[in-house]
Amino acid sequence: MKLYTYDPAPNPRRLALFMQHKGIEIESQQIDMMSAEQLGDAYRAINPEATVPALVLDDGTVLTEVVGICTYLEELYPEKPLLGTSALEKAQVISWDHKLFLGLMMSIASMLRNRSDAFRDRALPGALDVPQIPELVNRGQLQLQDFLPKLDAHLANNTWLAGDNMTFADIDLLVSVDFMAWVKQSIPEDCVNLKAWYARASAQLN
Ligand SMILES: N[C@@H](CCC(=O)N[C@@H](CS)C(=O)NCC(=O)O)C(=O)O
């Protein structure tokens, strides 16, 4: 197996924290997003999606989605499970992952990519060039304002996001909270449960 990744970027970090917690080591190569290496022909020949991370299996199969890569690795390395153990936990973890990816990570990415000159005509990750839509910055902000208090309310009665144990859902949230700093946002002062969770999750994962 070989992993193509770029450590500073949020989606690669979701996978890196998952692997680190489980003690998984895989030969890896950095794809330098700062020089747009992900868009070059050499990397596109490996992953036509032009996104990182990508895991190339020994038979040549390429996995391009973090959640898929983690699902695959959890099967190979079942110790210290992060995707749930019971049917219900598995459903809860994947539900949170989906909700956080769409509701939080994509809102932040949308704020970042639709306002910064660095992403002019690159408003979506990947191979497709698309123009920025400045209104999406405000929409992202509204989504954050709506989502964070809901997370705070959930964490008032729950130590971890999905079930009784720390899971991949907590990794998704930790990475998303840190990603908020890229658009100069942070956990609102009154979200005390979310702040307490952040301290707990950071202690476990960093
Ligand atoms: N669908 C992918 C998304 C990965 C993704 O969007 N990665 C970003 C880095 S965080 C990327 O490769 N962006 C490429 C670009 O901006 O051109 C997944 O879930 O793993």
CATH 1.20.1050.10 fits domain 87-205: yes
CA distance 179 to 176: 5
Q: What is the pLDDT, as a whole number, of residue 102?
A: 96
Q: Ligand 1: residues whose CB is within 6 Å?
A: 9-11, 38, 50-52, 65-66, 125-126
Q: What is the mean pLDDT of each run of 10 residues along the chain (206 residues)?
A: 98 98 98 97 98 98 98 98 97 98 97 95 95 97 97 98 96 98 97 98 93
Centre of ligand 1 from the C-alpha of residue 8, in Å = 12
Read off the DSSP letter of residue 54: E
> What residue ranges do the domains of the chain occupy?
2-76, 87-205
Tell me if 133 sits within 8 A of 152, measured CB to CB. no
Say how many Å lie between the CA of residue 64 and the centre of ligand 1. 9
Q: Do domains 2-76 and 87-205 have the same CATH topology?
A: no
> Mapping DSSP to helix (H, G, I), strand (E, B) and coil, where does residue 122 land?
strand
The preferred substitution site among 5, 11, 37, 171 for testing ligand 1, maximizing ligand atoms within 8 Å of CB, is: 11
pTM of the predicted model as reported, rounded to 2 decimal places: 0.97
Tokens linked to 160: 């971890």
Residue with tokens 């990947």: 126
What's the CA-to-centroid distance between 65 and ligand 1, angstroms?
Answer: 8
What's the pLDDT at 1? Answer: 98
pLDDT for 44: 98
| Tokens, residue 193 | 């449960």
pLDDT at 31: 98
* Distance in angstroms (rounded) separating the CA atoms of residues 7 and 20: 12
What CATH number has the domain spanning 2-76? 3.40.30.10
Taking a C-beta distance cutoff of 8 angstroms, is the pair 174, 201 a contact? yes
